[in-house]
Structure formats: C-alpha cells, structure tokens
Amino acid sequence: MQPILNSLDVVLQDGFMYSILAMGYYISYSILDFPDLTVEGTVLSGGVVFGLLVKAGVNPYIAVLAAFAAGFLFGGVTGILNVKLKIRPLLCGILVSTALISVNLVCTIVGNGGDFKGDGLSTIDLGRSVPTLTRIFPASELPSDFYGFNMKKLAVFFAMALIFKIITDVFLKTKCGLLLRAAGDNPNYVTMLAKNQGTSKILGLAIGNAYAAVSGALIVQSRGNVNQGIGIGMVVIGLASLIIGLSVFGKVKFMKPTTMVIGGSIIYQASLGIAALLGVPTVYNKIIMAALFTAALIVSGKLKKKRGVERD
C-alpha cells in the first residue's frame, strides 16, 4: 500500500506542477492554434531565474513572479519573430529555444559566480538552508509526511495550479482575453474590430511561455536543483496533458477547460506513475511519454471527427 500512496503523492505533485505548463499551451495551442516549441527553453529559463533568485535569498514567491516575467519576455520574442518577421510558427519556437540554451547556460554560470566565457558551474543546488516555497510560511507549517503524502509540496503545487487556473479563467473573460480568443478563432474579426491581430498573438505566446516558466520554477522547487536538462520533453508533456484533458473531459458540461487541463495533467502523470509501479525502468519514460501523446492525438482526432459529423 505504501508504495502506491507514495507514488500517488508524486503523481499529484507533478500533475499540478505541469498543469501550469499545459494551461499555457491551452492559450498558445488550443486558442491561438500555434504549435509553440519555445517552451523547451522557457521552462528551463523559469527554473534558472527561480533557482538563482531563491539562492540569493529573494522571497521565493517573488522569484516565481520573476520566472513568469522571463517566460513572458522570451515568449514575446517568439511572437515577434512570427508576426513581424513572418517566420513559420515551428521555426520561431526552434530559433528561440535554441538561443535560450546559451542564454540559460550563461545565466546559470554567471549567477553562480563564473564568467561570461562559460567557465564555471552549470548547475544550481538549492541546499538545505535556502528558503524555498516549502520552507517558508504558510507551507512550512504543514507536515512533510502525512500517510506518505508530502503535504508541504502538495499544498504549494496545488495552490499554484489553482491560482493559475483562476487567473486564466478570469483573464479569458476580460476584453483583452476575449479578443485573444477571437484572434485564434477568426483573425479577420480582430482586424474588423480595428485591432492589430498580431498584438493579440504576441500576447498569447508571451502568456503561454510565462506559464511554462512558472512550471519550470516549480520543477526546480520540487527537485531542489537546476540542471540544463530540465527543458527536455516539455513540449510533449505540455501538449499531451492538454490534449488528454480536453478529450477525456470534453463532454462534461460546465467544466472549465482549465479544470480539464489540470485533470489531463494528472492522468498523464498517473500513466507514468503506473508504468513505474509496474517496474518499467525510468530510462524508458520518454518512450512511454511519446506513446501516450500519440494515443492522445489519435483519440482526440477521432472525437473531433465525430463532433464534426454531428455538426454538419
């Protein structure tokens, strides 16, 4: 029983942690229909910003906001490449995430006291004394072992997912948010409203990557360290969680898409957790991830077809 509870603990933590990334994809992929690869870089950027600031003694909640800002900025660059320079969506993501490999590495090394030539430490370790999200009030008051559940981490990640869910829901109901939905739905409509459709697109990509960076900050919080491999596989985790969520819960009435995405993220992590419980070595994780993603795509494609037939 205990291994199952422990593994459930990890599933929930990771589910909430990555759900913010998936909510970002809800904005850039579902709403704007932009397959954004930038997150491979921005997740790590968020982690680096968070790790460096927290290690320097900055309040970790402020460090999360700083990670958000960094992601917002880099996502905006992707948007500008696409809108102003007319570069294809996939290439924009590849360009920015490739450039970010250097940016993230240099920031990590310099933040660690190394030099701009790249000589120095490329990892950040949040040692036992660093005040992270779980080590300051209010999470610090919670038990770290409650029937196998780490309540500190669980509460922090759940609260973060909930906050971003609420922010997203409220944002999408504002004038700015509705205009963003219109930009994804029918860009002509935005032009007819005398607004520049490109601006909405740039904003959407900035928000999507800001969310990805917050996920990155939480990954660093969870692992207690930053290494340069954190971003790998994030596109698949984010998109698969999103698509699983929307296709599994798509028919549930009155359920907000953001809630579906959190559900999807938990289902995705649970599948990985089950594989681990069954004794599949973690080196096979990425294959399982890709297989899950493929399955999700097939299922959601079939559902879409079904709905399309019904509508016509």
Check binding of 177 to another protein (CB under 8 A). Answer: yes
CA distance 79 to 34: 10
Min separation Cβ 37 and another protein, Å = 24
> Is 174 near another protein (CB under 8 A)?
yes
Nearer to another protein, 175 or 253 (CB): 175
- Main-chain dihedrals φ then ψ at residue 225, nearest 5 degrees: -155, 165
Q: Residue 22 CB, nearest distance to another protein (Å)?
A: 19
Stretch that binds another protein, among 42-50, 55-63, 116-124, 178-186 (CB under 8 A): 178-186
What angle is formed at CA 233 by the lines to CA 228 and CA 237, rounded to 5 degrees? Answer: 130
Residue whose CB is less far from another protein, 34 or 293: 34
Q: Which stretch binds another protein (CB under 8 A): 8-16, 150-158, 180-188, 245-253?
A: 180-188
User: Taking CB under 8 A as the criterion, which residues in 290-309 touch another protein?
Assistant: none
Q: Which stretch binds another protein (CB under 8 A): 170-178, 215-223, 238-246, 262-270?
A: 170-178
Backbone angles phi, psi at 200, to 5 degrees: -65, -40
CB of 83 to another protein, least distance (A): 13
Sequence-ordered list of residues with C-beta below 8 angstroms from that of 143, at least 6 positions apart, any chain: 151, 152
Q: Minimum CB separation from another protein for residue 197, in Å?
A: 7
Contact between residue 238 and residue 217 where contact means Cβ atoms under 8 Å apart? no
Alpha carbon distances (Å) from 129 to 49, 55, 62, 100, 155 = 18, 9, 18, 29, 20
Q: Among residues 32, 68, 51, 9, which one has the least CA distance to residue 200? A: 32
Task: Kindly state whether residue 176 participates in binding another protein, applying the rule CB under 8 A.
Answer: yes
Shortest Å distance, C-beta 296 to another protein: 21
Minimum gap (Å) between residue 31 Cβ and another protein: 9
Q: In this structure, what token pair is assigned to residue 179?
A: 């205009």
Does 175 participate in binding another protein (rule CB under 8 A)? Answer: yes
Contact status: 171 vs another protein (CB under 8 A): yes
Q: How far is the CB of 133 from another protein (least distance, A)?
A: 27
* Cβ-based neighbour number of residue 308 at 10 Å: 9
Q: Pick the binder of another protein from 58, 65, 159, 179 (CB under 8 A).
A: 179
* Residue 158: Cβ within 10 Å count: 18
Cα→Cα distances 231→30, 32, 151, 188, Å = 21, 22, 26, 35
Give the chain's length: 312
Which positions from 185 through 224 interact with another protein, judged by CB under 8 A? 185-186, 188-197
Q: At what angle do helices 2-25 and 257-277 cross, to 10 degrees?
A: 140
In 3D, which of 118, 162, 155 has the Cα closest to residue 138? 155
- From candidates 110, 130, 169, 181, binder to another protein by CB under 8 A: 181
* Beta carbon nearer to another protein, 181 or 223: 181
**Would you call the peptide bond into 138 cis, given omega within 30 degrees of 0 as the criterion?**
yes
Query: Any contact of residue 255 with another protein (CB under 8 A)?
Result: no
Could you tell me the smallest distance in angstroms from the CB atom of residue 94 to another protein? 29
Residue closer to another protein, measured from CB, 117 or 311: 311
DSSP 131: -
Which residues are near another protein by CB under 8 A?
171, 173-179, 181-182, 185-186, 188-197, 311
